Amino acid sequence: MNFRILKKAKRGYGRLGVIETDHGVIHTPSFVPVGTQATVKGLTVDQLRSLGTESVLCNTYHLYLRPGDKTVKKMGGLHKFMNWDRPIWTDSGGFQAFSLGAAIEHGVGKIASIFPGRNQKDVGEKERVIKDGLTRITEDGVEFRSHLDGSKHLFTPEKSMEIQENLGADIIFAFDECTSPLHDYQYTKKSMERTHRWAKRSLVAHKQKEKKQSLFGIVQGGAYKDLREISAQFIGSLSFPGFGIGGSLGKSKKDMYKVLEWTMPHLPEDKPRHLLGIGSPEDIYECVKRGVDTFDCVLPTRLGRNGNALLSGENLNIKSGRYLKDKKPIDKKCKCYTCQNHTRAYVSHLFRANEMLGPILTTIHNLFFMEELMKGIRKSI
């Protein structure tokens, strides 16, 4: 992988750049759609390519459980498996291992399930045990239960590297613990320090193996200024070719912007920065200004499947009865396949009739919207 900065914004810290991988380039700032299970839900790879999508991010946790990273490797790696010849990212698997593993035990949402003091007890520095001891975080790694069948698994930095190498994405991430906004300073600090040790272990495990993949380190430290600074300095000093910013970004958009302002100055300027799991249009504007190069998020695809079409102003809930006789496209100015071919009335009908084509058409619109948004941002730099 190679990263070149083509231009810097006159105001703020935005950069125009290009990430070059063996599978093609990513023009930054870029939004990366999520293809959790080796598919961006509902779209063929041809449709995805025609939207201008340059890369996708798949989830290590899901693919490890199903169909299994070894199966994907046997099939020639993720690119061949899903027949996507452009760049692929995989995350570290940490976030889902903590959250989905815990969620299934407790039947609760993913963040609620890792509240400190609620569903877990904190056993000194060495161990975080989530209720009933079914999900355990130790110095070694995280022991969790599959959300599919309850079977027990262990992710360590070494295991995460092995899985991600089997999957064969172009850009992979170091194994980290993702803390929530409800973790206190003490826990966030301990967790961050462990993540730092895991980052070094990830690097060591990675260096011994696949050279074609680029391993990004992940900055943690929650919404605490000194921790973010320490983490950015530490992770930034390691030999990663790029960085992810992970974990809690606070409780508000303002908190998130602050976290970025604390973090960015301590990361090497010439390496790309990926903001994990963030992707609402307004967030992207603000985060690019603060120096973020790439984003991944399920938001545009998930909103699309649920009938929420992205617009420059307020989103449009296409399922609403008010659109049943509306001859306009979702967005008059939009050049996407959906808006060029179909009315709101038709898409609304599809959703109300539980037809697959409704989610498909709205996903197409939303991902195209994101591509256009990023094009506009790149132009403005």
Residues in contact with a copy of itself, total (CB under 8 A)?
A: 39
Catalytic residue among 69, 91, 293, 331: 91
Is 184 in the active site?
Answer: no
Residue 361 CB, shortest distance to a copy of itself, in Å, is: 7
Interface residue with a copy of itself among 206, 349, 365, 378 (CB under 8 A) is 349
Residue 380 found at the interface with a copy of itself (CB under 8 A): no
Residue 147 found at the interface with a copy of itself (CB under 8 A): no
Interface residue with a copy of itself among 4, 7, 74, 209 (CB under 8 A) is 74
Q: Where are the alpha helices (DSSP H) in the chain?
A: 45-50, 60-65, 69-74, 78-82, 94-106, 157-167, 185-207, 225-237, 253-263, 281-289, 299-305, 337-341, 344-352, 357-380
- The angle subtended at Cα 98 by Cα 92 and Cα 103, nearest 5°, is 135
Is 296 in the active site?
Answer: yes
Q: Which candidate, 156, 161, 132, 152, places its Cα nearest to that of 142?
A: 156
Residue 24 and residue 89: Cα distance in Å, rounded?
13
CB-neighbour burial class of residue 195 (10 A; exposed 0-12, middle 13-18, buried 19+): buried
If the CB atoms of residues 147 and 274 are measured against a copy of itself, the closer one turns out to be 147
Interface residue with a copy of itself among 182, 238, 311, 357 (CB under 8 A) is 357
* Helix, strand and coil percent figures for the chain, each rounded to 5: 40, 20, 40
If the CB atoms of residues 47 and 315 are measured against a copy of itself, the closer one turns out to be 47
If the CB atoms of residues 39 and 280 are measured against a copy of itself, the closer one turns out to be 39
Residue 98 and residue 113: Cα distance in Å, rounded?
9
Residue 364 CB, shortest distance to a copy of itself, in Å, is: 8
Interface residue with a copy of itself among 2, 186, 341, 380 (CB under 8 A) is 341
Interface residue with a copy of itself among 71, 186, 252, 312 (CB under 8 A) is 71
* Contacts with 270 (C-beta within 8 Å, 6 or more apart), sequence order: 3, 5
106 to 145, contacts with a copy of itself by CB under 8 A? none
Q: Candidates 63-71, 95-103, 159-167, 253-261 — which segment interacts with a copy of itself by CB under 8 A?
A: 63-71
Site string for a copy of itself, 37-56 (x = CB under 8 A): xxx-xxxxxxx---------
Residue 356 found at the interface with a copy of itself (CB under 8 A): yes
277 to 336, contacts with a copy of itself by CB under 8 A? 324-325, 327
Residue 150 CB, shortest distance to a copy of itself, in Å, is: 17
If the CB atoms of residues 19 and 38 are measured against a copy of itself, the closer one turns out to be 38
CB-neighbour burial class of residue 73 (10 A; exposed 0-12, middle 13-18, buried 19+): middle
What distance, in Å, lies between the first and last C-alpha atoms of the chain? 23
Structure tokens at 68: 């299994």
Q: Candidates 34-42, 87-95, 219-227, 247-255 — which segment interacts with a copy of itself by CB under 8 A?
A: 34-42
Residue 84 CB, shortest distance to a copy of itself, in Å, is: 10
* Contacts with 352 (C-beta within 8 Å, 6 or more apart), sequence order: 319, 324
> What values do phi and psi take at 82, rounded to 5?
-100, 0
Structure tokens at 171: 């850009």
67 prior amide bond cis, ω within 30: yes
Sign of CA pseudo-dihedral 168, 172, 176, 180: negative
Instruction: Give kind and range of the element (H or E) at residue 275.
Output: strand 273-275
Residue 145 CB, shortest distance to a copy of itself, in Å, is: 18
Residue 346 found at the interface with a copy of itself (CB under 8 A): yes
Catalytic residue among 69, 170, 176, 296: 296
Residue 350 found at the interface with a copy of itself (CB under 8 A): yes
Active site residues: 91, 296
Contacting residues toward a copy of itself, per CB under 8 A: 37-39, 41-47, 62, 66-67, 71, 74-76, 81-83, 324-325, 327, 337, 341-343, 345-346, 349-350, 352-353, 355-357, 359-361
